[in-house]
């Protein structure tokens, strides 16, 4: 009998359905399985056999005996209700639910044709493949509201990249029994889980994790996040870790060990509700990239980075761009010897009244465009120590510095600057006149207003 005709029979040969077959590559099947959730906007989970259109009834006792014997993980999912009614229906008295199960059997998986039904309130998914990766397991599953890992007996999973990527309706996630002891990849783990308001990570074992890039990015409903229990000893990449967490008001990173981190770019990007941030324990000895690190942190009033060691950092562009409420910024120990890009570094810091950059070494910097753009409350700025011999772009560097009255550019060299227009656009006429008079080392093009 061909498996495609099984749906036309009232009685199903349970032995054939639950029979043993050769093992298949489970990672590929799982990815294909859950990716259907996004494409069809509903729980249209397995759609390999288009010939199977009728409802299938399976004896619950036989089924339960089989799944309980062989299953290692059970995931309970609450999907959105919808009007479709074709599904595998496993009946139990006064309870409607169905299971999706695997036994390393490609034919069995292809044979099932499942639709979600509006009467079904709970879906239990049993997964028993001995896979090592959960990468993209629930990728783009926008219809899932809650996931509960009821039991998790495996310790061989090593990859959780993109696991809940764009589960944008996910409101509840319970993984108390989750074993992550051997996981080394967690990048984009909760990316765009924009409905999650709470995330408990107290039992997360991250001892072996090396990559946490964009781990919580766009979790835009999270209000507080306690990361004190995360072991980050081996993490090398934290870029974009909290990117777009726009509702986050409190974050605890007191126990973070960042001694091996090399990339912190975009780490707090657009955390626009954060009013305070204590990074005194941060070790930045090995960091080489801090681009956009605090971009758009528009509620921060104070930021003390005196403990930061930036000797290996090459990029600081847009680092504090858009920190419009920042009144105090401490960078006393910043080592900028290797920085090549400072463009837009303090752009939009419209509440800063003073800024001490006397210790900045800018010999390697090639780009300073929009560096102080919109620093409208700065009254004085001493850049006497700035060596700009290698800077090629200074356009709009001080544009919008409306209150600036004292600007020391004694050692500025604009000979190699190709782009220098609008350098002082929006500054007072008094300041512009003073600069023209005192500093003959500034090209006349710097005072031209170009659109």
Q: Enumerate the domain spans of the chain.
A: 1-129, 336-451
More confident residue, 24 or 74: 74
Q: Which two tokens stand for residue 222?
A: 């999270």
- Lowest mean pLDDT segment, chosen from 26-40, 160-174, 192-206: 26-40
- What pLDDT digit, counting tens, does each position of 231-259 carry? 999 999 999 999 999 999 999 998 899 99
pLDDT at residue number 226: 94
- What percent of the chain stands above pLDDT 70? 69
In this predicted structure, the answer to whether residue 271 has a pLDDT above a threshold of 90 is yes
DSSP string, 311-377: TT--B-TTTTTT-TT--EEE-TT---TT--B-TTTTTT-TT------TT---TT--B-TTTTTT-TT
pLDDT at residue number 126: 52
Report helix, strand or coil for 429: helix
Task: Mention every residue, 6+ apart, whose C-beta is less than 8 A from residue 266.
Answer: 239, 240, 243, 291, 292, 293, 295
- Lowest mean pLDDT segment, chosen from 70-84, 104-118, 228-242, 386-400: 104-118
What whole-number distance in Å separates Cα of residue 371 and Cα of residue 403?
16
pLDDT at residue number 74: 55
In this predicted structure, the answer to whether residue 92 has a pLDDT above a threshold of 90 is no
Q: For residue 83, what is the DSSP state?
A: S
- Lowest mean pLDDT segment, chosen from 72-76, 101-105, 345-349: 101-105
Report helix, strand or coil for 437: helix
What whole-number distance in Å separates Cα of residue 244 and Cα of residue 272?
8
What whole-number distance in Å separates Cα of residue 362 and Cα of residue 347?
18
- Lowest mean pLDDT segment, chosen from 66-80, 104-118, 295-309, 369-383: 104-118
pLDDT at residue number 300: 97
In this predicted structure, the answer to whether residue 403 has a pLDDT above a threshold of 60 is yes
CA distances (Å), origin 442, targets 95, 371, 436: 80, 17, 8
In this predicted structure, the answer to whether residue 69 has a pLDDT above a threshold of 80 is no
Report helix, strand or coil for 193: coil
Average pLDDT over residues 437-446: 89
What whole-number distance in Å separates Cα of residue 266 and Cα of residue 291?
6
Phi-psi region of 157 (alpha: psi -120 to 50; beta: other; left: phi over 0): beta
Residue 188's pLDDT band (cuts 50, 70, 90): very high
Q: What are phi and psi of 96, to 5 degrees?
A: -115, 120
What whole-number distance in Å separates Cα of residue 231 and Cα of residue 197?
23
Report helix, strand or coil for 31: helix
Most confident of 34-48, 158-172, 358-372: 358-372
Q: Which two tokens stand for residue 311?
A: 């000797």
Q: Which two tokens stand for residue 271?
A: 């955390």
Question: Given the DSSP bridges, would you call strands 224-226 and 250-252 parallel, antiparallel or unpaired?
Answer: parallel
Strands (E), 307-382: 328-330, 380-382
Whether the Cβ atoms of residue 143 and residue 136 lie closer than 8 Å to each other: no
What whole-number distance in Å separates Cα of residue 167 and Cα of residue 178?
18
Average pLDDT over residues 153-157: 70
Residue 98's pLDDT band (cuts 50, 70, 90): very low
Average pLDDT, the chain: 77
Question: Given the DSSP bridges, would you call strands 95-100 and 122-127 parallel, antiparallel or unpaired?
Answer: parallel
pLDDT at residue number 119: 37
CA distances (Å), origin 344, targets 79, 103, 373: 45, 56, 7
What whole-number distance in Å separates Cα of residue 337 and Cα of residue 277?
26
More confident residue, 99 or 230: 230
Average pLDDT over residues 411-430: 93
More confident residue, 354 or 13: 354
Residue 53's pLDDT band (cuts 50, 70, 90): very low
Task: Mention every residue, 6+ apart, whose C-beta is less than 8 A from residue 94.
Answer: none
pLDDT at residue number 155: 72
């Amino acid at each position: 009998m061909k498996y495609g005709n099984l749906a036309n029979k009232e009685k199903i040969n349970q032995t054939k359905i639950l029979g043993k077959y050769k093992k298949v590559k489970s990672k590929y099947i799982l990815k294909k399985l859950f990716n259907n959730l996004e494409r069809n906007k509903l729980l249209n989970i397995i759609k390999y056999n288009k010939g199977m259109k009728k409802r299938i009834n399976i004896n619950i006792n036989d089924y339960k005996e089989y799944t309980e014997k062989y299953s290692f993980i059970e995931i309970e999912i609450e999907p959105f209700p919808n009007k479709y009614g074709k599904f595998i229906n496993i009946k139990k008295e006064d309870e409607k639910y169905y299971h999706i199960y695997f036994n390393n059997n490609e034919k069995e998986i292809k044979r099932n044709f499942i639709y979600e039904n509006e009467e079904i309130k709970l879906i239990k998914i049993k997964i028993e493949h001995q896979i090592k990766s959960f990468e993209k397991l629930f990728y783009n599953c926008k219809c899932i509201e809650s996931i509960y890992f009821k039991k998790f007996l495996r310790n061989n999973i090593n990859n959780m990249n993109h696991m809940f990527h764009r589960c944008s309706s996910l409101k509840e996630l319970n993984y108390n029994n989750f074993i992550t002891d051997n996981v080394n990849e967690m990048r984009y783990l909760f990316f765009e889980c924009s409905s999650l308001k709470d995330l408990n990570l107290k039992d997360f074992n991250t001892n072996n994790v090396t990559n946490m890039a964009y781990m919580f990015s766009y979790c835009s409903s999270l209000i507080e996040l306690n990361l004190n229990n995360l072991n980050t000893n081996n993490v090398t990449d934290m870029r974009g870790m909290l990117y777009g967490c726009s509702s986050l008001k409190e974050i605890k990173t007191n126990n973070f060990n960042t001694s091996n981190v090399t990339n912190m770019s975009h780490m707090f990007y657009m955390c626009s509700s954060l009013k305070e941030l204590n990074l005194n324990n941060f070790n930045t000895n090995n960091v080489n990239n801090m681009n956009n690190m605090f971009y758009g942190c528009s509620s921060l009033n104070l930021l003390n980075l005196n403990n930061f060691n930036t000797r290996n950092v090459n990029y600081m562009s847009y680092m504090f761009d858009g920190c419009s409420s920042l009144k105090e910024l401490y960078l006393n120990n910043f080592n900028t010897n290797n920085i090549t890009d400072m463009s837009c570094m303090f752009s939009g810091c419209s509440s800063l009244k003073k800024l001490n950059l006397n210790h900045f070494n800018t010999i390697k910097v090639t780009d300073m465009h929009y560096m102080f753009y919109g620093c409208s409350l700065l009254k004085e700025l001493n850049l006497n120590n700035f060596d700009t011999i290698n800077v090629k772009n200074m356009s709009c560097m001080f544009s919008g510095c409306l209150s600036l009255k004292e600007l020391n550019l004694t050692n500025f060299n604009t000979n190699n600057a190709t782009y220098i227009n609008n350098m002082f656009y929006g500054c007072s006429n008094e300041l512009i006149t003073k600069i023209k008079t005192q500093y003959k080392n500034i090209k006349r093009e710097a005072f031209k207003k170009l659109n």
